[in-house]
Each structure stands twice: as structure tokens, then as C-alpha cells.
Amino acid sequence: MNVIFTCGGTAGHVNPALALAGYMQERHPDLRVLFVGTPRGMERGLIEKAGYDFRSIEVSSFQRSLSPSGIAHNVKSLKNLALAGSRARAILRDFRPDLVVGTGGYASYPTVKAAAKMGIPTAVHESNAVPGLTTELLEPYAGRIMVGFESCRQHYKHPEKVAVTGTPVREDFFTLTKEAAKEKLGVNDGRPLIVSFWGSLGASGMNAQMADMLALEAGKEPFHHIHGAGKSGYAAVLKALAEKGVDLKDHPSLQVREYIYDMAPVMRAADLVICRAGASTVSELTALGVPAIMVPSPYVTNNHQEKNARALETHGGVEVLLEQDSSGQALFQAAAGILRDDARREAMASAMAELGIRDAAQRIYETVQELL
């Protein structure tokens, strides 16, 4: 069997495809896999590192803006798209897939559309709470649209095509119990653990707020706190703390790391996470049943992070702070309010767990098998 996965733009689009490819190969050792993305997107490095063949198609994004610059950008994108269609058809004729799965990003559009027109079974996975522009455009062509939560179904014109599968989460997130993870990290003295991060590259404004929050925590150290500052933010957070008179050597319960390399046990041990609201993070938190304070990034297309966060907030698992309203003091007070109220924290954890889908890879696999 031959399968094409097509995706790009962010790790949140690429990782579900990698997870599904691995799951399918375990069940079909003779499976041939090809990934299709853009030549300069981050997807190429992630896919080639995972050991899969990769073919590229030049595709550029579309903007929803009707400003002159937005219109000019979209005209150029339409020209690229016209050429992308012929490139996609050539790849499909060469590889002869039995199935094409798009997992998001504009890179997936030409291949899924061309496959559908050639009579090849197609499916689309949408990680975000509301469909992105690419998913909206592909809805008429996709045989199935796979989403994270039941509440997502309302956003589609063809709800009969929608299957609630969740988004795959790495298996190593579940190898330890919460208690074992706390013991492994040395945070099992009864104090709750806060974990915070703003993405692998950090976010300068939010890291400055986190330095303020850590300085407040240093007073009495009521919690354990592990903060991933990102490569660009690590030195800045340490400098800000030093200027506030905080030396982390004197506060063993507070950790600032450039990157949280052991994310699986750290997330498993967490009692509260403070973070953005990207699709991968949402999937991990709900699968683990961990409550969160989310500060959605205001710099993403279609404001999808706030929509992700609001969906969790409506269900009771998340407290949302917009970046314009956030501060170190506000984050500290919000965290303390949750962690000092056991009933509230447990209710939030239960709400997150109700949304979590641990067997997402299996559900996606079964959904695409129906197409075959």
C-alpha cells in the first residue's frame, strides 16, 4: 500500500502526520510512505529527520485581508497554486498512492485536491478547534475530515464527513504515572508543580512576565516551577531575575531551562501548565488531563489560538488570559487561585480529561481504513 501525507507550516501540522505514518507502518510493514510539503518550510527538516522520503511543491499562503497588499499577495499565491496543481498531479502519477492524507497548512491543498479529482481516497485532519482556510477550501474534496473535539463539527458545511478522532500524542507521555514522574523529577514533596513555556523559540514579552512571576514565587516558594524560556529567551530571563535580586541557586524549587528536553515526564508531573494554545499543546494537555492557564498568541493566522483556548475554557478546563491583560502578577494570582483550591483544580483536570483522546492515532487509522 502507498500513502502520501501532505502538510506544512508548523510542527502542529507535521507531527500528527508523522504519528499516523508510524502507526500505519507498524500494522503494514510493506507500507510505502511519501511526504509532500513546501521546499523551504520547517516540515522538510522534521520529515527527513524522521527518515521519510520527501517531495516538494512551491505553494504560498493566502491572506483573508482585502487590503491592497493582501490582494497582491493572494494574486501571487494563485499563480503559484496554478503551477502547484500540475506538480501535484505529476507526483501522484509517479507514486500512485492508494490514499492521500492532509494534516494542515496550505502546503496540503494542491495534493489533496488533485488526488480527489483523480479518484484517489482523501482525508484531512484539522488540529485546531476551528477550521483553517486550507481545511475550508478542501472540505468539498476530502472524503473525511478528522477533528479534535465533538464541538468542532458545527464549523463544517458537511458535518456528515466529520469524524472526531482527536490529535495523536506521543506514546512516551503515558509511560509514567503522575506520581512516578514527580519522583523522577524530584518534585514529590507535596507542593504542586507549575510548568510553563512559550514555544521552542520563546516569546520575549511573555518571558519578561514569567521573570516577574518567578520573582514573586521566590518569596515563599509555594510551588515547584519549571519554565522553558526558549533559546532566545533563556539569558534574558536569567538577567531579569538577577536584576530583581533572585539567584536561582538559592531557590531549588524554581527552574529556568533553555529547553525542556524531557517534556514527557515534565508534562506528566505537572499540576498546572501556563502556555500558548497551539493545537499540539492542546492535544497533550487534554490527553493528560492537566488544567492550564493559556495566553493565546495574538500573532497567528485567523486568531486560531484564542479559539482553541476558548473551546477549552467553555468546557471548564482552562483559564484564559489575553496577552494584553497578562502580567507576572496576573499569572501568579491566577496560578495561586487554581493551585490553592483543590476542588477547582480537580474539576479543571476532569474537564480536560473529558476532552482528551488518547487513542487518536488508532481512531485516525480506522477512519482512513474505511476510505480504503
Give the CA distances from residue 310 to residues 198, 233, 275, in Å, rounded to whole numbers and listed in that order: 18, 27, 14
Residues 6+ apart with CB under 8 A from 218: 246, 251, 254
Q: What digits encode the pLDDT tens for the residues 63-81?
A: 666 677 767 767 776 777 7
Predicted local confidence at residue 64, as pLDDT: 63
Q: What digits encode the pLDDT tens for the residues 195-222?
A: 999 976 568 999 999 999 999 999 999 9
Q: What digits encode the pLDDT tens for the residues 216-242?
A: 999 999 999 999 999 889 999 999 999
**CA 17 – CA 152 distance, rounded (Å):** 20
Predicted local confidence at residue 201, as pLDDT: 58
Spatial contact of 223 and 252, defined as CB atoms under 8 Å apart: no
Task: Give the other-Cβ count within 10 Å of 272's Cβ.
Answer: 24
Spatial contact of 13 and 105, defined as CB atoms under 8 Å apart: yes
Angle between helices 11-27 and 279-288 (to 10 degrees): 60
**CA 95 – CA 53 distance, rounded (Å):** 11
3-state DSSP: the chain helix, strand, coil percent, rounded to 5? 50, 15, 35
Q: What digits encode the pLDDT tens for the residues 148-179?
A: 988 899 999 999 999 999 999 888 899 999 99
Compute the half-sphere exposure of residue 316: CA atoms within 13 Å on the CB side of its CA. Answer: 11
Give the CA distances from residue 46 to residues 12, 51, 112, 177, 242, in Å, rounded to whole numbers and listed in that order: 11, 9, 21, 29, 36
Spatial contact of 221 and 249, defined as CB atoms under 8 Å apart: no
Q: What digits encode the pLDDT tens for the residues 87-106?
A: 999 999 999 999 999 998 88
Question: pTM of this prediction?
Answer: 0.85
**CA 137 – CA 82 distance, rounded (Å):** 15
**CA 170 – CA 114 distance, rounded (Å):** 31
Helical ranges in 221-301 per DSSP H: 234-243, 263-269, 279-288
Q: What digits encode the pLDDT tens for the residues 275-302?
A: 999 988 999 999 999 999 999 999 887 7
Predicted local confidence at residue 8, as pLDDT: 86
User: Cell match 500494522: residue?
Assistant: 27
**CA 37 – CA 42 distance, rounded (Å):** 9
Which whole number is the average pLDDT over 128-139? 91
Give the CA distances from residue 130 to residues 123, 279, 308, 338, 371, in Å, rounded to whole numbers and listed in that order: 17, 11, 8, 28, 24
Predicted local confidence at residue 73, as pLDDT: 62
SS3 355: helix
SS3 103: coil
Predicted local confidence at residue 63, as pLDDT: 62
**Would you place residue 118 in the very low, low, confident or very high pLDDT band (cuts 50, 70, 90)?**
very high
**CA 286 – CA 312 distance, rounded (Å):** 9
Residues 6+ apart with CB under 8 A from 49: none
C-alpha cell at 102: 492532509
Spatial contact of 94 and 116, defined as CB atoms under 8 Å apart: no
Q: Compute the mean pLDDT over every residue in the chain, rounded to the nearest whole number.
A: 92
**CA 58 – CA 87 distance, rounded (Å):** 9
Task: Give the other-Cβ count within 10 Å of 53's Cβ.
Answer: 12
Predicted local confidence at residue 202, as pLDDT: 62
**Would you place residue 60 in the very low, low, confident or very high pLDDT band (cuts 50, 70, 90)?**
low
User: Cell match 458537511: residue?
Assistant: 158
Q: What digits encode the pLDDT tens for the residues 254-273?
A: 999 999 999 999 999 999 99
